[in-house]
Structure 1
């Protein structure tokens, strides 16, 4: 089956190949321009060949324009400039070959050799930089063929018809077609190489996905086994004390499952973060107190903080979890004891450095949290895989392999990054970079909703497609004095609202079957009832926050599985004074 071709992506790739060939303002660019200008200046001064010099200046101008347009298109990721890039490339090639013909026309064998040297140099340049895509090859080989044809005609005009001139004429005419065929072959080889590389990448992604699915299945099966076993014991037990104990175990298993789901979302960069402004010094002080309880006495902990360090805008809980994962890994790397050093400093990464550094560090001003150990170190063949999900070198039952992948997901979602430096038998240093807040800037923080359960009777419209979850939420809400209307999807809820239903609070899922999703339903509901309070309960609501801000919807977001107290507190905080059931 033929896959659709991404024309925009293909054009950008071709533009990139042109932009990177003798890149604008690079050493190769200045060498190319310098040689051309030096040669044209020498021709003007020594031979009075000002026309030749003018052609060289025009060529250099077109060369610069070609590189500028390509670099511009690449920086803007604008494939619409593709034609402009190819046109300037073709014009530059035409001027280059016209320049070679003009050099050939000057009296003297040395200039004949110089002209042929220019054409050979162009041939080498094309082989090195442009033997990839057929449109580019056609743009540069066509002018070269015209240059060889022009020189062949000049030879024929000067020496007339003879066996030698005929042989030279045929040879020059055949050079470009042969060269073109060679480039086509190189292009095909390049395409095969790219296809093989993509196939390898797909295979590696499938392998990682397979390991991810297997790990998730294993961990969730454990959660389900505990939940199912204790639920069966609850049914069989006649002792209220035992039933309570078994119920507590079910709750703990559900919380472990929720934690695993949270780690998966963080790894995928899809968890819902609640960033606030924090002082890194306070973070490190509190974290050292916490990690003191986790690490054995055989591991000595030291800390250092740069004076006057900038604050960070970060989800404090997720940052603590990420640092704790790094500290636990450091502990496991030092089974016989050692030193764990926690350091916080600042790091500025310029645009040039972000491209140069090997750790995919974005441009910006960061606060760097460093966790260093004096442990066994990480082998080089393992370094490339340590952030993969469910990859672990620990024994069975000693780790899920989600810790470092969660750290990486959290770092990227926070617009930062994480990387590691390690040496065998010396130790490892993990660096977690979080964007710094500009000095003097104060971020407004949202106040927490009041935790009140006054049991004021409110009318709640509950929208949930999963029957078990819907029944559970309906029972929890009605048991605490509220009236509930139920819809199984967004389409049904929208029809109820348009039909005259006017609830006090709308509680809806995000992703549902049907044409109307949770975010769409919120917009419809608020348009119909501007004073309606809204709550979204979803297991995947990370992308909803930005949409809600864009639509200016004052909606509370609760993450599944939601605790009953949190749901009821949100309803009570959102609900107006007692109004009862209204249609």
Structure 2
């Protein structure tokens, strides 16, 4: 399991994992730490071998690495519900812990000052590992404390008799007790705090999810209620209004309401990245040119629209309707920000390198370039709190009934589903929303989507 998979597992809440999984994460959760541990054990074994010529170091390394390999597999059994799975997992953990601690304790008990020094640092390394590793099951904590006290007892047995006086022995014994007690409390407290922090983060995440669900359902209910009210009202009037132009107008109103419902569903699907898209190679300049013509008819006289294209022909890999809808939403949002006066720049630029935060595997450009469609206005810009929430579904600063709050979120969903990204840059001089999309090297000559 790599670091990315590990992070995803942890994000699913540690409390939902089995005790064997938690113990596995405690030993193997971070690949670089495991690699560093293995290299350190091998280096220590070889160093000890070169120092005294004995095979004690290599034998210790073989025992520990064998226990490490055994734990890797026994802590992830094919059947975690097997009656012996937990016993075997705990047994392999104890074997590995004692297998590591054995050599430092042995070195501390020798009469060689150099080996004593190395043994002390070996125990310090074990203590640091126990303090900072991922949170293991509760049953492991007493085992770690017992091993620490066993090491302290061996150290006391080795050095206390050599003290020159009873007072010195008392001081050394007191230091051993203080060290053991402090380590035990630190181990217990550290893991307890980390567990509390994790639970608090889980509660915060759950609260945010519930808040988002509330906004989503509230927004859907509000918009669909307006649509259903229009449908229901026009159909009721249709039954009592005599045939003629007035009745035809009611049918048109009902039809328009159904179109709004269809558009709302499409926006929700786009936000959730569930709308079916047909990615094709499109002429980016042609997309801008056509959209510029359409947008100029929609914008008020006080808003000037400037369109900028690339110098050479450029091609984007995207769904045509989705791209036009996303860009048109960005233009209309910019127009709302200007409140009838100002300018908007619709542009497309060739950007070198992969799009930020994008899944660039969908790009087919040989030089790893991508296209950036941007809509910039010279309005007042967004406040920091508004920018932070701008792409949330149904979040809007417009008055009730003036906007659904799905424009930016729909564009974001389209960008991600297309393998691109959406970014917002705002300030006192205006706001720029950039839609990064994969780029193709040439036109779709066979006339088929890809």
Instruction: Please indicate the TM-score interval, normalised by the length of the shorter structure.
Output: 0.7 to 0.9
**Which residue of 2 is the match for residue 393 of structure 1?**
397
Out of 237-246 and 367-376, give the one that drifted further: 367-376
**Which residue of 2 is the match for residue 364 of structure 1?**
361
Once the 2 structures are TM-superposed, how far is the Cα of residue 63 of structure 1 from its aligned partner?
Answer: 11
**Which residue of 2 is the match for residue 283 of structure 1?**
287
The one of 425, 428, 431 equivalent to 1:425 is: 428
Between structures 1 and 2, the one with greater helix share: 2
**Which residue of 2 is the match for residue 345 of structure 1?**
350
Equivalent residue runs for 1:133-532 within 5 Å: 133-134=137-138, 137=141, 143-155=147-159, 179-180=183-184, 182-296=186-300, 298-305=303-310, 307=312, 309=314, 311-312=316-317, 314-335=318-339, 336-345=341-350, 348-349=353-354, 360-362=357-359, 364=361, 366=363, 367-373=370-376, 374-422=378-426, 424-436=427-439, 445=448
Out of 225-234 and 10-19, give the one that drifted further: 10-19
Uncovered stretches (5+) of structure 2, i.e. residues with no partner: 1-12, 364-369
Q: TM-score, normalised by structure 2?
A: 0.73
CA–CA distance in structure 1, aligned partners of residues 283 and 92 of structure 2: 53
Q: TM-score, normalised by structure 1?
A: 0.58
**Which residue of 2 is the match for residue 123 of structure 1?**
127
Give the number of equivalent residue pairs. Answer: 420
User: Using a 3 Å threshold, how does the CA distance of structure 1 residues 186 and 42 change in structure 2: closer, same or farther?
Assistant: closer
SS of the residue corresponding to residue 328 of structure 1 reads helix
Residues 462-516 of structure 1 show CA distances to partners (whole Å, capped at 9, x for unaligned) of: xxxxxxxxxxxxxxxxxxxxxxxxxxxxxxxxxxxxxxxxxxxxxxxxxxxxxxx
SS of the residue corresponding to residue 350 of structure 2 reads strand
Residues 100-153 of structure 1 show CA distances to partners (whole Å, capped at 9, x for unaligned) of: 124324435565354334323432332233456536656755654554454455
User: Using a 3 Å threshold, how does the CA distance of structure 1 residues 347 and 177 change in structure 2: closer, same or farther?
Assistant: farther
Once the 2 structures are TM-superposed, how far is the Cα of residue 292 of structure 1 from its aligned partner?
Answer: 3.2
User: Using a 3 Å threshold, how does the CA distance of structure 1 residues 419 and 227 change in structure 2: closer, same or farther?
Assistant: same
CA–CA distance in structure 1, aligned partners of residues 33 and 79 of structure 2: 19
CA–CA distance in structure 1, aligned partners of residues 312 and 91 of structure 2: 56
SS of the residue corresponding to residue 186 of structure 1 reads helix
Do the aligned partners of 1:55 and 1:95 also contact (CA within 8 Å) in 2? no
SS of the residue corresponding to residue 429 of structure 1 reads strand
CA–CA distance in structure 2, aligned partners of residues 365 and 139 of structure 1: 50
**Which residue of 1 is the match for residue 17 of structure 2?**
7
Once the 2 structures are TM-superposed, how far is the Cα of residue 50 of structure 1 from its aligned partner?
Answer: 5.0
Do the aligned partners of 1:93 and 1:144 also contact (CA within 8 Å) in 2? no
CA–CA distance in structure 1, aligned partners of residues 307 and 19 of structure 2: 50
CA–CA distance in structure 2, aligned partners of residues 369 and 134 of structure 1: 52
Do the aligned partners of 2:338 and 2:379 also contact (CA within 8 Å) in 1? yes
Uncovered stretches (5+) of structure 1, i.e. residues with no partner: 447-583
**Which residue of 1 is the match for residue 3 of structure 2?**
none
Do the aligned partners of 2:107 and 2:118 also contact (CA within 8 Å) in 1? yes
CA–CA distance in structure 1, aligned partners of residues 422 and 203 of structure 2: 28
Higher RCO (Cα < 8 Å, 6 or more apart): 2
The one of 20, 43, 48 equivalent to 2:30 is: 20
Once the 2 structures are TM-superposed, how far is the Cα of residue 5 of structure 1 from its aligned partner?
Answer: 6.8
Residues 175-202 of structure 1 show CA distances to partners (whole Å, capped at 9, x for unaligned) of: 6687456434433333332222222222
CA–CA distance in structure 2, aligned partners of residues 90 and 376 of structure 1: 64
Residues 218-254 of structure 1 show CA distances to partners (whole Å, capped at 9, x for unaligned) of: 2222222222322233222224121111111111112
SS of the residue corresponding to residue 278 of structure 1 reads strand
SS of the residue corresponding to residue 132 of structure 2 reads helix
Do the aligned partners of 1:100 and 1:115 also contact (CA within 8 Å) in 2? yes
